[in-house]
Structure formats: structure tokens, C-alpha cells
Structure 1
Amino acid sequence: MAKERTLVLCVDRDDDLGFKARIDGPIVGREACLHAAVTLGLADSEDSDINAIFETIKIYDDLVARGEEVAVAVICGNHMNLLEGDRRIAASLDAILSATNSTASILVTDGAEDEYVLPIIQSRVPVSSVRRVVVNQMPNLEGTYYILRRLLDDPKVSKIVLVPVGLAMLLYAVGYLLGYPEGATIVVVGVVGTYLLFKGVGIDEIFGYLITSMKTSLHGGRFTFVSYITAILLGIVGIFLGLVSLLDYYTSAGIFFQVLAFIYGAIAWFTAAGLVASGGKIIDVFLNEREAIRRVVALPFFVLAIGAIAYGASIYILSISSEVSGFPITADAGVKYIIFATIGGLFCAFLGVYLQSLLSRWGNDHEPLALKRGA
């Protein structure tokens, strides 16, 4: 029986090594990790990742002294885009496991943020222990001020904190300058609230991923670049028509009915945008990665299903509500709309799932025999 080999792994999810010390990950081997820690220490002696890397090396030395088979490595994410960073961590870990033949791992982190990648690591190799390195300090007022100042100097933190505060102050000043202080308050609260909602739900990462995908598509000559641009334009049209619908059927009954009025006017265009974007993705996958088409073939069916159900639901609620005046669809017709839209949406979703399952079975049946045997 082969002897178990343990990988002592340090995770730098925000890639301070690359951002501050200009060291590209992954970093494999004791000397390489030690050099990375020293270089990062010279670049920023207060970075907590330094202690995490040194702790990783210490655990590696202890296990080696006990006669165990051990490897040591540091993997890095992305300083500005955590979504792309997690993908980079997954790819780096696959390469390290293939190179070191490790069968277990010990995870070393410097905080809770890095532990978000624990499921990624566990999906590839068993994690036998997690070591979280915490630096002992004596906090005081001066130290707290210095820490806050250091955080605000970090581009990632300043972008989250300073941008909404600065934008709110600028909008408020413009409102007062134009003589509309009440309107300025509404605009400021709305903009800051939208920003916080985007950050809280993670929509900003989705936009970041979309921009990265568009750049990749443009440089690679992919069809998705055109489809994404078209989808964005359709989405802008949808927003405009949604606002027009909101003004036509505006009610003071509450934001719920206002959102439904917006959806009623915009959802068809949003659905068209989703269909164009997913259709472009399917075309690119079919032309360049045909074996992966089963993973994306269901996208347009799901988009159409969600759009149909949302459209039917908005019509039904607006038609039966006594708070909305001038709505062109009666309550009886609204019932028919939601029934047919729900049935049609569920059928589209089922069709997408069935087609995906069919292609998956077809792919498994046509998989090379050597791969099926694990050769």
C-alpha cells in the first residue's frame, strides 16, 4: 500500500503575494515558500499572510521531523476579483495535487475569508486539519486608527468604503446646488442602498465576471462578445420600458406593486437579452468545446421559463389589484395568463433538463473505452 502523502497548504485568497510582493502563485516547496514569506515581509511587514506562510513551513518541518511524507505549497487568488481568484485557486490546487501526488491536506489560513475556499479544497483532496493563524496584539486607540488608515490605503477596501461615501456626498452637494435638498436625500439613499444591495448579493462580482468574459471573448474572437453586447443593449431597452411601465401604472400602495409594474414592462426584453447571451454561449461552446455543451444547453430554457413565469405573475397581480388603475388586462384574463405562463415555463424548464440529461447520457455512451476504465 502506498504511503499517505500530506500537503500542507497555505491559502492567500486576496493574493497579497502577487499584489504586494510581485510573486506569482502557486508556490511549491519549502525554500520557495520561505522566499515568498521573506519577500512579502520586506514589501509589507504588517501583512498577516506572512505569519500564515511561516506557520505553514513550521508544520511542514514538524511533520518531516516525524518521518511523514509531506509537501508544502502556497496558492493565491485574485486581489480585486474574488470570483476569478477562487477559480485560480481551484486550478492551482489541481496542478499541485497532480505534481505532488498528495492524498491529504492541512489547511493554514490567516482569517475567516480564506476559509471560504475550504469547500473547493475538500472537493479535491481530504482536509485532515485546519490551522488558523491569529497574531496576538494589544489594541489601543492609536493602533485602531493606524489599522483603519492601512485598510483605507488598500485599493480593494477603499473601493468598497470610499466610493459610496464620496458618491453620496457629491450627489448631496449637487442637489443642494440645484435647490432640491429633499430630492438629493432621496437620490443619495437610493444610490447608496442600490450599491449596498449589489455588494451584499454579490451582483458586483457577476458584473466583474461579465466584463472579464467579454474581454476574453474579444481577444479570442468568440461569438459571445457580440451576443453579450447585444444582450446589454436589450437590457438597457428593458430598463427604459420598465420605467415607462412604472410611470404608466404607478401606485402609492407600496414598492411591491411598483416593482411588478416595472417587471411587466421590462421582463420581455430581459428575457430576450438572456436568450441572446445564452445562445451566444452555446454557439461558442459548440464550436470550441463541443464536449462541454451539455453543461450550457439548458441555459436558454431556464431563462425563458423564468421570464414567462415572472411575466404571468406580474400580469395576474396587477390585474386583480384595485390599487393599480388603467391596467389593460382584466382579472379573468390575468388568471389565464398566470396559468398558461406557469405551465409554459415549467415545460421549458423540464425540456432544458431533459435535453441536458439526454446529451449527458449520449456523451457517456460515446466516451472512449480507455477513459471509462480509468486508464
Structure 2
Amino acid sequence: MPHATSNNSAPWTGPQLHVNDGPLRPDQVGLLRKTTLDTPMEEIRRRYNEDGYVFLKQLLPRKDVLKAREQYFSLLQPSGCLKPGSEPVEGIFDSSKNRRDYPGIGAGGADENGRPIGPNPEIASKFIDLALQAHNEDWYKETFCKHPALLEFVQEFTGWRDNTMAVKRTLLRNNTPGNNAIGVHYDQIFLRHGADTAVTAWVPMGDVKITGGGLIYLEKGHTLGVEMEKVFTLKAKQAGFSDEEARNAFNANMMHGGMLHNGPAEFSRDVNRRWLVAADGYEAGDVVLHNAFAIHASTMNYDDEGVIRVGTDLRFVDSSKKWDKRWDKTYSFNDGV
């Protein structure tokens, strides 16, 4: 695996952050660069190309995000996940319940069909079914995922204009306190049947405290992702693989679920790069755009008030170029992507 040395900066002095394989050391943590909407578009593009991401503050109206959050948890409420007496928009987990009965999508612990599992199948199944159903609700797929503020920004940012297409397959994930977080990956792993120009918008559906399980980005991780892809492609060609054989062989060498590594702490040590975090957490309305090779993961949710972290991955492609048609459908478990 290619290695690189991170730039010099003061060690992290904020709260202790935890990932799947334990705590991150202070020298493993840096800060995401914030970008406000009054920043010139040329500068926003420059930052995206330089960093592999751009962390946009308040791109979406806060009230619209919180309305979607309220609708999400109103849907999930019958599963018993919410604290009695709390409001759905708060999304506070009922701490009297076993958190493992409320597993998140894509965070490990899945059966052979890619379906999350819990120790009490009846409880877990109800929660999981409702979380999956949310992908098909009009308030989500028609209103939230197609929010004009996001679509119009991406159209201008990419320069794709009318060729800008939001693909149907999205990933709406929750993370209840104490459960596993998302492992280390980059998106081109899952989009390899199309051009490598796809843009992902990670949208926190509500406020996410610094300790609440938000996304973290490997410093200059997009350059490492490109290097890893090039190294494998070269080896595949030398072995005489066709393009399809190369794609299948690459994916076969990923961990289950397409992860590069389940442990961000160990991965950071291996490649000698820091994980970049949002110093003050994320706010409802924030959006992070990242490219197809930006390596990212998430911290574990240790919110001190038991708030469930919810966020969604929305992906945009240039419809005038080849794109991965496997994404032209609503998300389902074990759907071949």
C-alpha cells in the first residue's frame, strides 16, 4: 500500500474520538477545512481538487433537514428505538433497550444477504425493515434527495449543468449510540462500472456532535485512493485480466461490504495520515461533497445525550458519460453493488 507523510500541525486537543478499533490518538486527528457559501465557486473547486472534499456550511435550509429528520424518526418510532416522552425530531435512543437490536445499515454484523442482524430477531427486524422502507418514502426520495438547493449547487459546481443526474440508489444510514461505525473505504469501489467523476454529497440529517459519529476523511486520502487503484489496475493488466475480470478481482479482495479496512486507527497508522474531523461537529444544513477516491470512514457514536446519528449519501453523475447503471434503482439489501 502506498504511504505518505502527513503535514505538521498541533495534535488534537478536543474530546476523545473512538472508531471501530479503539480510540484515535491526538496525532491521528486533524481538522476539516470549512467552506462558507460566500466563497467564490472557483475557490470551492480548487479546494475540492486539492483536498478531495469540500465541507460546505449551511448549504441546505436547516428547517428542511429537520423536517426530514422528524419524518424519518416518526417512521421508525414503532420499532421502540426512541426514548419515551421525547420528540421524533430529537432522535434520542431509548437507553433501556439493547443497542445491538437496532443495528445500522452497512456497519457490519450482516447476514449472507447483506441484511443487518441483532440478538433479538423480532425487534431488530422491525427496526431494519422501517429503516429500509424510508428509502422509498416520497418525503425522502422525492423531496429531500432532490432538494433544489443541493441539485442547483452541484450543477454549477461540476459544470455539468443539465447533464447533472442524482442517481436513484442512495444510502440512508442511522447509527445508534455505541454500535459499530462505518469502515474505511472510497466510493469508486462501488461505482467502478462507470466514470470516476461521480460526486458524493454526504448530508447529515440533523446536528451531529463531534462525538456523535460523523464522517471523517483521511488527509489527502483521494491521492492514496488513486494510487491504490492504479497499482491494482497495473497488476491486473500484467496478469492479462479483462476489464470485467479486473473489477471482479479487485472487489473480491475487499473486506466484506467493500471496505478497505474495518479499523480506521490501524489504517491511519499504516499509511501515516491523519483523520480529518469537523471540529464542532456537523449542523443540520451542512453538506460534504467528496470525490470518488476520497478515503473516509466514521467515528463511533458516543453522543452524551444518546442522539441517534442519521446521514445520507447522495451521488451525482454526468449523464453524458458512462455511469454505473447498477445505481439506477432504490437501495435494497444485497442488491449487487
TM-score, normalized by length of structure 2?
0.24
Structure with the higher fraction of residues in strand conformation: 2
Q: Which has the larger radius of gyration?
A: 1
- Structure showing greater relative contact order (alpha-carbon pairs closer than 8 Å, 6 or more residues apart): 2
TM-score, normalized by length of structure 1?
0.23
Structure with the higher fraction of residues in helix conformation: 1
